[in-house]
Amino acid sequence: MTEIAISTHSLTRDFPSVRAVDSLDLEIPAGVVFGFLGPNGSGKTTTVRLLLGLLEPTSGRAEVLGHDVSLEPQAVRAATGALMEHSGLYERLTAQENLEFFGRAAGMSRVDVKARIQELLDPLDLLERRGEQVGTWSRGMKQKLAVARSLMHRPRVVFLDEPTAGLDPVAAAGLRDDLARLVAEEGVTVFVNTHHLADAERLCHQVGVVRDGRLLAVGRPDELRTATGGRRLEIAGHGLGGDVLSAVRDATGVLEVRLENSRLVLDLDQDVRTPDIVRIVIDRGGEIEEVRRGAETLEEAFMNLLEASDDDI
Amino acid sequence: MISDIWLVVVKEYREVLLRQGGRRANIFNMVLIFAVFGVFMPLQTGEWWVQQPWTPIFWAWLPLFLVSALVADSFAGERERHTLETLLTTRLSDKAILFGKIAAAVIYGYGILLAVMVVSLVTINIAFATPHRLLFYRADVTLAVIVFGFLITFMVTVIGVMISLKATTVRQAGQALSLGILALLFFPGLIFGYLYRVLPGDVQTQLLDFIEHLEPGVVLLTVALVFTALDAIFLAVAMKRFKRSRLIDE
Ligand SMILES: Nc1ncnc2c1ncn2[C@@H]1O[C@H](COP(=O)(O)OP(=O)(O)OP(=O)(O)O)[C@@H](O)[C@H]1O
Ligand SMILES: [Mg+2]
């Protein structure tokens, strides 16, 4: 049986004017990188605060590493790391002083703190600059340092609230690579809030999509992509016009076909099989380079989900 | 627990005293305090500096102004610079964080008070002592400064930390705290003066008579006990108010 690192049971949090988290049920196995995906104001930050015991749930409960977050919040915080909306670094202190403070605050020994600083900062290219005041650093450097800080005491679970927010695309991609490497090396369970689908695609084994505090879907990124875009088929290649196009259009279950830049884009009934369509194309002399079923990107899948939830209302 | 508190104290000093507006400004302030209160004023006052009984009143307000910068920054500063929430995600207990903030200011204000006392004594002795007769503060005055200096520093610190807990900016906390200190310094006198004036003439004379015949030791002891009780009450209130979930909630 796999160990469950984070679980919530009908977790709900009300604010005077809004229900920020609405009967959330999650079960996240240890070692998994879980992406919590949702638009602004969907309750991602509130969920993390609840899981860290920084806010009291209105109803329901949650457990992190077997500790109930309302009953043993300190045990939860001791075993977890967090990078919240702000980097939370002391800008007047040096990078080293920051890591020392948080390491010691987590109960690490001086010797251990020193070794760990070396271990974390070296691959991030920050070791040489550890004596500089953090306030003088670029946002990208600060964010890398904040990630290191959240992992300082080797937590078993780490919460990251939009770690790439405010970074330019290059810095964001760099941070994603660093995160992916750290997560793999440390074997830590990660709960990452984001509305950057690139974060989710690059990092996450599992994603949950949330909207207005409600969970819309959970699954692997590729599962979500197919589940939400399963009626779409794209075929790239040569000679797909004319004969091929009209034959495909006449095939059963094909709702719509169009040719975009020498790609066939089809909308299908859910039960149409990809090989049947491919056979029609080949029979008519089409040459196929690539076939893809499902939404093109997680982004598209995400938008599809949000649109579907709009339809429900 | 003690080491957690100390960790917060050291962090406060590094952040607020050593780096704010450059370490130089703070060193300059410090030198100024010692030059004025440790050297200049004792020299001006002469031997009387160590003999007169009013020294405690003079000393009492010194730490108030020393702690106010640290205390105003304690929580409002963390909030303003967006470090509060991250601090709250650590293993540190509510008590370790709160007591660390309080201890940082009390140790700083009270420590400087005692240090200035010692420095001014050295000044007095260098300037006025003869080989046969070293000068020293009166014993009762020394005791009063040590006791009241601590009690008052502690009280202002705890009140200031509570103000800082509520304030959104350091500036706001600083302003509220300055008003608070003024009130603390002047209200008791004003209220007493007012009450005194509205009393009938014969009661006034009786009151004056009563005050004149009070045993100074008894008065000081009573006041010290009252202050201790107030300190304990304020600390209890601060502990009740400092709850993680409340800090994020508003
Ligand atoms: N302390 C608070 N008091 C009142 N309302 C709050 C508070 N915190 C959050 N909310 C409300 O709860 C809802 C969810 O907010 P939350 O910050 O959790 O969303 P989010 O998914 O993190 O959004 P973003 O992507 O913008 O960070 C919002 O409507 C927000 O206004
Ligand atoms: Mg958020």
What is the pLDDT averaged over residues B69-86?
91
Is A304 domain-assigned? no
What is the pLDDT averaged over residues B7-17?
89
B81 with A90: Cβ contact below 8 A: yes
Within this chain, do residues A82 and A118 fall inside the same structural domain, yes or no? yes
Residue A219: both structure tokens together: 């699954």
User: pLDDT at residue B232 above 90?
Assistant: yes
**CB-closest option in B4, B89, B92 to A84:** B89
When pLDDT is cut at 50, 70 and 90, the band that residue B81 belongs to is very high
**pLDDT confidence of residue B233:** 94
Residue where a domain stops, chosen among A225, A254, A278:
A225
Do the bridges between strand A254-260 and strand A263-268 make them parallel or antiparallel, or are there none, so unpaired? Answer: antiparallel
Residues of B in contact with A74 (CB under 8 A): 91, 93
**pLDDT confidence of residue A106:** 95
Candidates A86, A134, A143, partner chain B, best to mutate (most B CBs within 10 A): A86
Is A301 domain-assigned? no
C-beta of residue A135 within 8 angstroms of C-beta of residue A145: no
- In the Cβ-directed half-sphere of B49, how many Cα atoms lie within 13 Å? 27
Ramachandran class of A89: left when φ > 0, alpha when ψ lies in -120 to 50, beta otherwise: beta
Question: Of all protein residues, whose CA lies closest to atom 14 belonging to ligand 1?
Answer: A43
Indicate the number of domains in chain B.
Answer: 1
Burial B186-203 (b: 16+ CB within 10 A, else e): eeeeeeeeeeeeeeeeee
C-beta of residue B149 within 8 angstroms of C-beta of residue B61: no
Within this chain, do residues A199 and A270 fall inside the same structural domain, yes or no? no
Within this chain, do residues A268 and A142 fall inside the same structural domain, yes or no? no
User: pLDDT at residue B106 above 90?
Assistant: yes
Residues 84-113, chain B, touching A (beta carbon < 8 A)? 85-93
pLDDT, tens digit (0-9, with 9 covering 90-100), for B170-205: 899 989 988 888 887 788 778 878 887 888 888 888
When pLDDT is cut at 50, 70 and 90, the band that residue B121 belongs to is confident
Burial A16-54 (b: 16+ CB within 10 A, else e): eeebbbbebebebbeebbbbbbbeeebbbbbbbbbbbbb
**pLDDT confidence of residue A9:** 96
B6 touching chain A per CB within 8 A: no
Is A302 domain-assigned? no
Nearest CA to B16 among B81, B74, B103, B80? B74
Within this chain, do residues A163 and A237 fall inside the same structural domain, yes or no? no
Is A306 domain-assigned? no
B91 with A102: Cβ contact below 8 A: no
A92 with B14: Cβ contact below 8 A: yes
**pLDDT confidence of residue B57:** 67
Within this chain, do residues A81 and A37 fall inside the same structural domain, yes or no? yes
Within this chain, do residues A240 and A163 fall inside the same structural domain, yes or no? no
Q: Could you tell me the pTM of the whole model?
A: 0.84
pLDDT, tens digit (0-9, with 9 covering 90-100), for B29-41: 788 888 888 888 8
Ligand nearest to the CA of A51: 1
Residue B82 CA to ligand 2 centre (angstroms): 14
Within this chain, do residues A234 and A190 fall inside the same structural domain, yes or no? no
**pLDDT confidence of residue B220:** 80
Within this chain, do residues A90 and A31 fall inside the same structural domain, yes or no? yes
- In the Cβ-directed half-sphere of A81, how many Cα atoms lie within 13 Å? 25
Cα–Cα dist A117/A124, whole Å: 11
Ligand 1: which of A36, A44, A161 to mutate, judged by most atoms within 8 Å of the beta carbon? A44
Indicate the number of domains in chain A.
Answer: 2
Q: Is A51 in the pocket of ligand 1 (CB under 6 A)?
A: no
C-beta of residue A22 within 8 angstroms of C-beta of residue A10: no
Mean pLDDT by 10 residues, chain A (313 residues): 88 94 94 92 95 95 96 95 94 95 95 94 91 92 94 94 88 86 87 86 89 90 71 86 86 85 84 87 90 72 74 60
A49 touching chain B per CB within 8 A: yes
**pLDDT confidence of residue B88:** 96
Containing domain of residue A249, as a range? 230-295
**pLDDT confidence of residue A131:** 92
Flag whether the ipTM exceeds 0.90.
no
Bigger pLDDT: A295 vs B213? B213
**pLDDT confidence of residue B239:** 92
Could you tell me which residues are beta bridge partners of residue A210?
A215
B249 touching chain A per CB within 8 A: yes
B93 with A74: Cβ contact below 8 A: yes
Is A34 domain-assigned? yes
Bigger pLDDT: A6 vs B168? A6
Angstroms from B119 CA to nearest CA on chain A: 32
Within this chain, do residues A155 and A66 fall inside the same structural domain, yes or no? yes
Question: Of all protein residues, whose CA lies closest to atom 28 belonging to ligand 1?
Answer: A41
**pLDDT confidence of residue A173:** 87
Could you tell me which residues are beta bridge partners of residue A264?
A235, A259
Angstroms from B129 CA to nearest CA on chain A: 46
The contacts of residue B209 (CB under 8 Å, 6+ apart) are none
Question: Of all protein residues, whose CA lies closest to atom 8 belonging to ligand 1?
Answer: A46
**pLDDT confidence of residue A228:** 65
A73 with B244: Cβ contact below 8 A: yes
